Amino acid sequence: MLEPRTLDAVNRYVMRERPSQSESPFLFLVGRGTRSCDPLSYDALVRMFARRLNGLGLRAPEQTPHALRHTHATLMWEAGMRELALQQRLGHASPESTRIYTRVSDSQVRDEYCKRQL
């Protein structure tokens, strides 16, 4: 289930920016030019992400959509999402791929250690 803010943002995009003439099953499409209505490529997404971060004064080389995916996976895992559920959410074929995505934070390690102390 989407958070209300996310659902609102996607709804605004579909109603105001997504090419209305498209019958594509893909949500995010190229809006203008000769490729109008083609699915948005990953490279285009990376460029848009970088431009937005630049505009906010937050751009750094390590800030990418892929890094955001890793952060999301880690937060979901730390919040208690089971590994198999997280694997399915990320669309991974194997649990090993999911384990690569989750980075345990220092605070999580400390908290786990403190729980195990006698």
User: How is the chain split into domains, by residue range?
Assistant: 4-56, 65-116
Query: Cβ(90)–Cβ(101) under 8 Å?
Result: yes
pLDDT value at position 118?
Answer: 55
CA distance 19 to 104: 40
Higher pLDDT, 101 or 9: 9
Task: Work out the percent of the chain whose per-residue pLDDT is above 70.
Answer: 97
pLDDT value at position 1?
Answer: 58
The torsion defined by the Cα of 103, 104, 105 and 106, in degrees rounded to 10, comes to: -130
Is the pTM higher than 0.75? The answer reads no
Provide the CA 29 distance to its chain's centre, in angstroms: 17
- pLDDT category of residue 108 using cuts at 50, 70 and 90: confident
- pLDDT category of residue 116 using cuts at 50, 70 and 90: confident
Q: Six-digit token pair at 111?
A: 């908290």
1-47 pLDDT tens trace? 567 888 898 899 999 989 888 889 999 998 888 888 899 999 999 99
Provide the CA 52 distance to its chain's centre, in angstroms: 15
pLDDT value at position 103?
Answer: 73
